[in-house]
Amino acid sequence: ITPRAQRRLIREVTKDPRTTSKELQASLASIKVSVHDSTIRKRLGKNGLHGRFPRHKPLLSKKNIRAHLNFAKKHLNDFQDFWENTLWTDESKLNYNNFAKMSGPKFLQSAVIDSLQAIANA
């Protein structure tokens, strides 16, 4: 694989982390570079881009996001005994789907899939 093709792979995966190795293989074929999809995955791995599963999170409206932020700011300096008496009811299992991403924050909007389970239970 040429350095130019490798830079193209990194650029495409950085732009859209959910791009599959088969899609990248087709993209390289358009510039007449024939590479096996496992080679693509290995090259991306050597550059810190590993296949990962995106996190699922409940689908939150702008209103709910503001309410969560206001709650966090309001209770920022509360003592430990306040939190020990708090009933946490939003704990849920996280499910995953595979896609390539750089290591870093797990809950960036580009690295999560909204779960419609929250809407179904509303």
pLDDT tens digits, one per residue of 83-120:
787 766 665 554 445 544 555 555 566 666 666 654 45
Instruction: Assign 3-class secondary structure to the chain.
Output: CCHHHHHHHHHHHHHCCCCCHHHHHHHHHCCCCCCCHHHHHHHHHHCCEEEECCEEEECCCHHHHHHHHHHHHHCCCCCHHHHHCCCCCCCCCCCECCEEEECCCCCCHHHEEEECHHHHHC
Q: How confident is the model at residue 66 (pLDDT cuts 50, 70, 90)?
A: very high
Each domain of the chain, given as residue ranges in start order, spans 3-52, 55-121
Q: Residue 76 pLDDT more than 90?
A: no
Q: Does residue 70 register a pLDDT over 90?
A: yes
Q: Which of the pair, 91 or 62, is modelled with greater confidence? A: 62
For residues 38 and 105, the model is more confident at 38
Average pLDDT in the chain: 76
Token representation of residue 56: 């699922």
More confident residue, 109 or 3: 3
